[in-house]
Amino acid sequence: MSEQFFVRDCWYVAGLSSDFPAEKLTGHVIAKKPIVIWRTKDGEVVAYDDRCSHKRFPLSKGRLMPDGTLECAYHGMRYDTTGKCVMIPSHPSGPISPQATVRAFPVIEQDGLVWIWPGDPARSETQRPPRVPEVGNDQWESICVGPMNVSANYLLLIENLLDITHFYPLHDGNIGDIANSRIPIELEEGEADGNQYVMTIRQTSSYKQPPYLEDWFHYPVVDRHHTHCMMSPGLTRVVMRNAPPGQLQKRDGDREFPGRLDVGGVERGYVLVHTHTPVDERSHVWRIIVNCPAKDTAKGDPTKSTARRVAEMFPAVAAEDLWAVAEQQRMFEYPDDGYAEVFLKPDLALRRARKIMTDMLRQERAAAQVQAAE
Ligand code: FES
Ligand SMILES: [Fe+2]
């Protein structure tokens, strides 16, 4: 695919709820839209265009006034939480033009994450952000690795996450495990909360764990159920369940969506939440939120929680993926000129992911054309 794009009509993670303490202005770029985001005194998260309607000065560099309005740092225009200008210092008594308004973006705060819709607000009701009930839940320990700035189109990371046959050789020396690449892959697709999803399922039995998985999940030999699911272009969820041979729970033929791990049972594992938020065609922001049952500790060091142990290893693993996708991105700068990618069996999920995103883009463009014609 030579075209590099991002979908705008989609919910994307702007940060964890804890990244937005009350009354702190933050500047973001999501899908090429500059956005100022903050939490009001009352706890509501507000997002609007980061360009002052007067002379484009970034509002995120302004300040919040005691009455809750945002004051631009350049000439002092003040905006309420809907983005409407309510005060112009140089026209204290004059009427305020309705044009002195900055566009607000739809916001949803859910499961410990703040989601923004950078596209057409009228279409924001067609989808809901995917659910990640483990994040910010007392029964779970959640540790965020990142945010990391990735020099590549976000689809390259999504493809990387859906196809773990790259563990060897890219992650040789840490999570590289060549036997893992040979586990057969099943595919599941469907729709949830208005999002088309694609999920790979890897099941294996009496599998000898590599040392790092034995350290995290204790059992040296396991039956394992492992899913990677692009729940939407904004989020990929990974669930790994391990149990001693014969003790892994069977659920709905083991094809359940979105994949979950019970806390407190014989099964050990994790839920990884990857958020990928496009900045532009060539860059995005990646977070890995590691979730493990709060009571689980590492085999090699029982003073350390499993979540902590996993999160300690991930920056080195992520650095290898960051390198790989940036190198791939660099090669997109050359015209195809007869070049065509070869598709292998494990590439099936990434082909489906591309199709889902291409279809979303097509719908988004068609809706924009209809709007322009009205
Ligand atoms: S640029 Fe904001 S008030 Fe002039
Ligand atoms: Fe990787």
Distance 160 CA to ligand 2 centre (A): 6
- Give mean pLDDT, residues 114-138: 95
Q: How many angstroms separate the CA atoms of 57 and 79, rounded?
A: 13
Q: How many angstroms separate the CA atoms of 196 and 191, rounded?
A: 4
Distance 277 CA to ligand 1 centre (A): 29
- Going through 101-169 in order, the beta strands assigned E by DSSP cover 107-110, 113-116, 140-150
Strand partners, 293: 140
pLDDT tens, 318-364? Answer: 999 999 999 999 999 999 999 999 999 889 999 999 999 999 999 99
Closest protein CA for atom 1 of ligand 1? 55
Given a contact cutoff of 8 angstroms between Cβ atoms, the answer to whether 265 and 257 are in contact is no
* Closest ligand to the CA of 319: 2
pLDDT tens, 197-233? Answer: 999 999 999 999 999 999 999 999 999 999 999 999 9
Task: Quickly list DSSP for 17-29.
Answer: GGG--BT--EEEE
- 31: tokens are 């899908």
User: How buried is residue 132: exposed, middle or buried, by Cβ count under 10 Å (0-12/13-18/19+)?
Assistant: buried
| Residue 256 confidence (pLDDT) | 65
H helix count then E strand count, the chain: 5, 17
Instruction: Write down the residue that tokens 């992911």 correspond to.
Output: 353
| Residue 3 confidence (pLDDT) | 65
* Closest ligand to the CA of 53: 1
Element (H, E) at 175: none
pLDDT tens, 37-60? Answer: 999 999 999 999 999 999 999 999
Strand partners, 201: 186, 227
* CB of 63 sitting under 6 A from ligand 1: no
Strand partners, 107: 116
Mean pLDDT score of the chain, rounded to an integer? 94
* CB of 107 sitting under 6 A from ligand 1: no
Q: Pick from 49, 52, 59 the residue to mutate for probing ligand 1's pocket: most ligand atoms within 8 Å of its CB.
A: 52
pLDDT tens, 154-200? Answer: 999 999 999 888 888 899 877 777 787 788 899 999 999 999 999 99
Distance 183 CA to ligand 1 centre (A): 59
Distance 72 CA to ligand 1 centre (A): 6
Distance 171 CA to ligand 2 centre (A): 7
User: How buried is residue 82: exposed, middle or buried, by Cβ count under 10 Å (0-12/13-18/19+)?
Assistant: exposed
* CB of 61 sitting under 6 A from ligand 1: no
* CB of 168 sitting under 6 A from ligand 1: no
Distance 159 CA to ligand 2 centre (A): 10
| Residue 253 confidence (pLDDT) | 53
Identify residues whose C-beta is under 5 A from ligand 2, the ion.
321
Lowest mean pLDDT among 63-67, 104-108, 118-122, 261-265: 261-265
- Give mean pLDDT, residues 277-299: 97
Name the 3-class secondary structure at 266.
Answer: coil
Given a contact cutoff of 8 angstroms between Cβ atoms, the answer to whether 305 and 296 are in contact is yes
- 17: tokens are 């709820």
| Residue 2 confidence (pLDDT) | 46
52 CA: nearest ligand 1 atom: 2
109's CB contacts (< 8 A; 6+ apart) are 17, 45, 115
159's CB contacts (< 8 A; 6+ apart) are 350, 353, 354
